[in-house]
């Protein structure tokens, strides 16, 4: 058998790392998938290649995050390899070794925000964002779409790319009123430099194949057609599955494969998915076959019953309404932006972030400067109930010379009397300072 698309796979089950032995995010998540893949003979298909992860460096993390007080205190070796596996998947596509790649790694990353005091939603570092920012430095400043198909809102990725119009973020997820992390509403549409480029599609509990594919065909694909990204990344969370123990959706392995086939991502990165035996092996197999351009029509869970999983008419109607609203906001994004930000010099965004895994509460205010020549510098003034009070300054990749100067002078001038830690992230010169 020969794959239509050359596909790279990176596996990292992180045997020596778990929040606790019985925690849903543990190494068996990938062990059953590995067994299934070898049973199906995936390794014998011509055009499917396996790559070993590399180990990510501190600098890779500092391009995206402000780990408090520093990288070493927050990030384990397992996280560095999970990140490195994701980076390797990105590099294999960028340097032409393969057409597409899938990083099957853990721990996951999409709940990790810019500031990192600890673990939340089983995430410490945002693996997609760290890999993406690294290849932007190594190759070129790509225009990228990240499509998050995890059942939970990708709140960390939203936070990281909130004000970046060259990174379109679309998350469809179980409605935040019914599931962790409780965010991801339609009105959350991006910062002043990127209004309309953060798109949330909250879906009701009980959404099935029909609903997910409706969202894809009627909102996600039309938006991607217009946006024309250089690269499509799928944050492939698999906890929308009907057997997932911590969510309430009705999606299937076959549905995930169809979704992946139509979305046609360049790179997929495993996020959540906690139905270790009942879902992950089948979904991952379906995604691998779809990415390789092979037939996935026989991929079904042993207990798959299409009729039983059909979504109700009420849910179908509700999803259509949500999609209409989201798509019309996308079409009107420039008018909406004018209405929201006209005449403003900066925009403040207060936020409270709870680290559920580590039990830490953070209060922060982000400040986005509005600049006519670039995306504008932005700051995060944050304090945690563990005693830190930090200021993080970010100079965006497209910063004008004034904004670069302003970032450095703010860093120099800000006194350590008010803050325990002050950081400067200069994305133009790829520098990171801390005091």
Distance CA 116, CA 131 (A): 17
86: Cβ–Cβ under 8 A, 6 or more apart, which residues? Answer: 10, 103, 105, 109, 127, 128, 130, 131, 269
Instruction: Let me know if 62 is exposed, middle or buried by CB neighbors in 10 A (0-12, 13-18, 19+).
Output: buried
What are residue 333's phi and psi, to 5 degrees?
-60, -35
- Is 308 a binding residue for Zn ion by CB under 5 A? The answer is no
Min CB(96)–Zn ion separation in Å: 32
133: Cβ–Cβ under 8 A, 6 or more apart, which residues? Answer: 60, 63, 64, 427
Which one of the listed residues 79, 110, 111, 254 is annotated catalytic? Answer: 111
Min CB(402)–Zn ion separation in Å: 5
Which segments of 195-311 does DSSP mark as H helices, in order? 209-215, 221-227, 253-263, 280-292
Min CB(427)–Zn ion separation in Å: 13
- Is 393 a binding residue for Zn ion by CB under 5 A? The answer is no
> Interaction with Zn ion in 222-281: which residues (CB under 5 A)?
237, 239, 272
Choices 156-164, 287-295, 382-390, 393-401; region in contact with Zn ion by CB under 5 A: 393-401
* Residue with Cβ nearer Zn ion (221 or 428): 428
Min CB(54)–Zn ion separation in Å: 26
Distance CA 185, CA 161 (A): 16
- Contact in structure between 223 and 215 (CB atoms under 8 Å): no
- Is 426 a binding residue for Zn ion by CB under 5 A? The answer is no
- 152: annotated active-site residue: no
Min CB(172)–Zn ion separation in Å: 12
Cis previous bond, 345, omega within 30: no
Token digits of residue 270: 């495993």
* Residue with Cβ nearer Zn ion (239 or 266): 239
* Residue with Cβ nearer Zn ion (119 or 150): 150
* Residue with Cβ nearer Zn ion (135 or 353): 353
* Residue with Cβ nearer Zn ion (334 or 405): 405
> Interaction with Zn ion in 144-183: which residues (CB under 5 A)?
150-152
Choices 1-9, 77-85, 394-402, 412-420; region in contact with Zn ion by CB under 5 A: 394-402
CB atoms closer than 10 angstroms to residue 435: 11
- Is 25 a binding residue for Zn ion by CB under 5 A? The answer is no
CB atoms closer than 10 angstroms to residue 419: 18
Give the residue at shortest CB distance from Zn ion.
272
387: Cβ–Cβ under 8 A, 6 or more apart, which residues? Answer: 420
Distance CA 230, CA 222 (A): 16
* Pattern 351-390, Zn ion, x by CB under 5 A: --------------------x-xx----------------
Catalytic site residues?
A: 111
Q: Which residues bind Zn ion (CB under 5 A)?
A: 150-152, 237, 239, 272, 371, 373-374, 400, 403
């Amino acid at each position: 058998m020969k794959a239509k698309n050359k596909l790279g796979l990176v596996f990292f089950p992180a045997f020596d790392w778990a929040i606790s032995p019985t925690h849903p995010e543990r190494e068996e998540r990938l062990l059953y998938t590995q067994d299934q893949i070898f049973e199906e003979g995936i390794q014998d298909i011509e055009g499917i290649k396996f790559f070993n992860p590399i180990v990510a460096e501190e600098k890779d993390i500092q391009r995206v995050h402000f780990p408090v007080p520093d990288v070493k205190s927050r990030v384990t070796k397992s996280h560095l390899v999970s990140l490195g596996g994701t980076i390797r998947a990105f590099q294999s596509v960028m340097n032409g070794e393969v057409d597409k790649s899938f990083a099957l790694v853990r721990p996951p990353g999409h709940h990790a925000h810019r500031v990192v005091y600890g673990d939340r939603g089983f995430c410490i570092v945002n693996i997609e964002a760290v890999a993406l920012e690294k290849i932007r430095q190594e190759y070129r400043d790509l225009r990228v779409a990240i499509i998050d198909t995890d059942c939970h809102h990708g709140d960390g990725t939203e936070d990281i790319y909130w004000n970046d119009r060259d990174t379109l973020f679309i998350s469809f997820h179980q409605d935040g009123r019914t599931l962790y992390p409780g965010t991801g509403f339609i009105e959350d549409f991006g910062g002043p430099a990127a209004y309309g480029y953060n798109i949330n599609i909250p879906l009701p509990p009980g959404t099935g194949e029909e609903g997910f594919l409706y969202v894809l065909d009627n909102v996600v694909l039309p938006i991607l057609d217009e946006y024309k990204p250089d690269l499509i990344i799928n944050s492939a969370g698999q906890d929308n599955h009907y057997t997932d123990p911590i969510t309430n959706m009705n999606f299937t392995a076959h549905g995930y494969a169809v979704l992946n086939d139509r979305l046609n991502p360049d790179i997929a990165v495993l996020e959540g998915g906690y139905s270790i035996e009942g879902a992950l092996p089948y979904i991952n197999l379906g995604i691998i076959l779809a990415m390789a351009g092979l037939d996935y029509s026989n991929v079904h869970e042993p207990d798959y019953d299409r009729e039983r999983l059909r979504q109700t008419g009420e849910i179908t109607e509700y999803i259509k309404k949500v999609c209409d609203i989201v798509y019309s906001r996308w079409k009107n994004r420039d008018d909406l932006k004018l209405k929201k930000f006209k005449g403003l010099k900066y925009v403040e965004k207060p936020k409270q972030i709870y680290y559920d895994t580590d039990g830490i509460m953070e209060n922060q205010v982000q400040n986005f400067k509005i600049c006519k020549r670039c995306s504008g510098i932005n700051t995060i003034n944050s304090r945690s109930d563990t005693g830190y009070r930090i200021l993080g300054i970010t100079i965006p990749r497209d910063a004008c010379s004034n904004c670069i100067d302003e970032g450095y002078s703010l860093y120099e001038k800000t006194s350590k009397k008010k803050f325990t830690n002050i950081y400067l992230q200069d994305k133009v010169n790829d520098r990171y300072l801390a005091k």
